[in-house]
Amino acid sequence: MKRILAAIVLMSASVSFSNTIELNTVEPVSIESDILKKRKKLNFNRRVQYPAGFNIYGGGPVGVVGLSFDYFLTPKIALEIGGGARNLTPDLGFFAGGRYHFFGKTPLNLTPYIGVYSGFEYTGDDIRNYNLYVPFGIQRIKKNKLAWSIEVAYQRNSYDKGNHLYGGGKLGFRF
């Protein structure tokens, strides 16, 4: 009986000793910040992180130089609108189209793409389509949110009927 009583006293003492914790010595654990850190580490795809961007074109779907805005609907599909100088006169042109990035869902930040754009101009009375532009190129989005791309394209241009091979380059900022 004495042994049983001694065992009960010993067990109750150890339980009460283990339950005494000073609150000042325990550091708070933030579960949310740990989850966000893990999520940030796993999200390497910059097309997901920075889906929108402003760009400056040299060549491209308008002609000589242009400005554009593009947005990734999914990591593989981007839509783009813009405008610029069609020639050195300068006649203004506008364009709209989209791109398909072959490796868009991968964490690669350099992806090949193919696209289709249509160039328009305002003639004073109406809007006229003057250019079909089908580029094949590569795009890179860097850590500092800068992006560049270079492309070679087939075009059917109403003003330059003899030249079907064209191209351009683009420099932009993603957000």
Residue range 84-105: mean pLDDT, rounded:
92
Q: pLDDT over 70 for what percent of the chain?
A: 76
Domain range for 66: 47-174
Here the CATH number for the domain that contains residue 68 is 2.40.160.20
Contact 65, 88 (CB under 8 A): no
Q: Helix (H, G, I), strand (E, B), or coil: what is residue 76?
A: coil
DSSP structure string for 18-38: HT---TTTPPP--HHHHHHHH
Domain count, the chain: 1
- Position of tokens 């800068």? 146
Is 3 inside a domain boundary?
A: no
Note whether residue 111 is domain-resident: yes
Average pLDDT over residues 49-54: 96
Residue 24 lies in a domain: no
The pLDDT value given to residue 165: 93
Alpha carbon distance 62, 113 (integer Å): 19
In this prediction, residues 27-47 reach a mean pLDDT of 63
CA-to-CA distance for 163 and 33, rounded, in angstroms?
56
Is 16 contained in some domain? no
- Classify residue 61: in a domain, yes or no: yes
Is 168 a domain residue?
yes
**Residue 19 domain-assigned (yes or no):** no
User: Does 64 reside within a domain?
Assistant: yes
pLDDT of 70 reads 97
